[in-house]
Amino acid sequence: MEPDFEVIVVGAGPAGASVALHLARLAPTLARRTLLLERATLPRPKPCAGGVTGKGLAVLGGLGLTLGVPALPIHRVEVSLGAQRWAVEAEGLAVTVARGAFDHWLAREAVAAGATLHDGEVVTGVVVGEAGVRVATARGTYTARCLVAADGGSSTVRKLLAWPPSTHRARLLYVETDGPPEDVATLSLDFTPMAAGLHGYLWDFPSPLPTGVGCHRGLYDRGDEGSRRGNLKPLFRDALAARGVDLDACVLGGFHERELARGVAVARPRLLLAGEAAGIDPLFGEGIAQALAHGGLVAAEVARVATSGDWSFRGAAGRFARSRLGLELAGGRWLANALYQPRGPARLARLFAAPGIASLAARHLAGRLHPAVLAMVAPPLLALGALGLGWRGHPA
Ligand SMILES: Cc1cc2nc3c(=O)[nH]c(=O)nc-3n(C[C@H](O)[C@H](O)[C@H](O)COP(=O)(O)OP(=O)(O)OC[C@H]3O[C@@H](n4cnc5c(N)ncnc54)[C@H](O)[C@@H]3O)c2cc1C
């Protein structure tokens, strides 16, 4: 019997919408038989600092899309560690967006490209059989040849199918304030609290508000073995106070993120994970560009399989690991392991002292550098940085 759809995608965030948009380019017939099931009614609020790096903008460009929501262009990323500061400057490093509006725009583009969207419909059950998948929601049951789990960090599909849990779950604290940050074209990352055991950083990002420019401020802790235990709130309170912000006057949000664990399966017969349901970058906790890129890889797998008729997705995990995104996430994990530990602050200072690192970082953020090139040039540059032959951080 013919299934109701060829593909069901659970979650209409950046990963889910990206799957549908890429399918529309690679296999338009499949895209027209793709169902996006979204728990929330769109537009939905999404707690997020809204930083979309050039890597993500490049994916949108590849889809022929120009950003359809207000965005603040970012030309500078500033990294600080105690009294030292380094800056990376270039056009097109990133933009910041309001996430609810951005995700809604992307989902509308997916519908315009042929996908069917059911929002306000939560997925409650999944059965994967030899002949196809069956997905239950509060409103009904749908069948398809395959399922894509793009339902984010707390993926329902993963839970329903008893997918192995993540080893690390990053912790984030986050507030939004009305006034703009010091510079509305700069993303600030402050690694100073690493000295106090944080495996992460504080961020201050400008954010577009209907009334002007506001500021997203937050704390990222990788949540791995040895990272600061217990309550992160006092540390965040002090950091905000140093920025002239009273935590008690803000609405505080606490969240988790899933990082892509080493060797985690991203595919099973008739099933693929996409975006944060699989896992994102453990170094910065960046997930939007990664979700957009992952959508492209997943769509390529589905398009490939649709012609062969073999829905086992054999080899998909290897292709993912060798892809640009797979290499980038593995590199991020390697760097996170090297930096988020007691010797981390000294290593971070050495990293930024390496010659040419600023321009490499700029090209990486803007999506103009392949991670394999970065992996080749980084070790000699780091060695030069360790010898003190490089770029000096300047005192704040
Ligand atoms: C405080 C904070 C700040 C962040 N800041 C940044 C940043 O500045 N830049 C950046 O790149 N990343 C940032 N991130 C990470 C980023 O938000 C995520 O990694 C990104 O949203 C992942 O996209 P996704 O499409 O995989 O998942 P999501 O965007 O989470 O989308 C998943 C969708 O699935 C839906 N869903 C879930 N369960 C079900 C179900 N049972 N049935 C149907 N639908 C379901 C959800 O409603 C949701 O719409 C931040 C995260 C946090 C918590």
Cα(118) to centroid(ligand 1), Å: 18
Q: Which residues contact 36 (CB under 8 A, 6 or more apart)?
A: 9, 11, 12, 16, 17, 20, 107, 110, 115, 116, 117, 118
Query: With a cut of 50, which residues of the chain have pLDDT below it?
Result: 390-396
Q: Hey, which of 151, 156, 298 would you mutate to test ligand 1's pocket, going by the most ligand atoms within 8 Å of its Cβ?
A: 151
Whole-prediction pTM value? 0.95
Confidence (pLDDT) at 391: 46
What does residue 284 show for φ and ψ, rounded to 5 degrees? -110, -10
Confidence (pLDDT) at 350: 84
Collapse the DSSP code of 140 into the 3-class scheme (helix H, G, I; strand E, B; otherwise coil) and give the result.
Answer: coil
Q: Which residues, judged by CB distance below 6 Å to any ligand atom, belong to the binding site of ligand 1? A: 10-16, 37-40, 47-51, 122-123, 150-152, 156, 172, 174, 218, 255, 257, 275-277, 280, 285-289, 291
Confidence (pLDDT) at 394: 45
- Of 42, 3, 212, 211, nearest in space to 121 by CA: 42
Q: Which amino acid is at 295?
A: G
| Index of the ligand 1 atom closest to the CA of residue 18 | 25
Query: How many Cα atoms within 13 Å fall on the side-chain side of residue 24?
Result: 19
Q: Is 278 exposed, middle or buried (0-12, 13-18, 19+ CB in 10 A)?
A: buried
Confidence (pLDDT) at 395: 40
What does residue 372 show for φ and ψ, rounded to 5 degrees? -65, -35
DSSP letters along 46-100, please? -----EEEHHHHHHHHHTT----S-EEEEEEEEEEETTEEEEEEEEEEEEEE-HH
How far is it, in rounded angstroms, from Cα 213 to Cα 109?
26
How far is it, in rounded angstroms, from Cα 275 to Cα 106?
15
Question: Angle at which helices 371-386 and 357-365 pack, to 10 degrees?
Answer: 160
| Index of the ligand 1 atom closest to the CA of residue 205 | 8
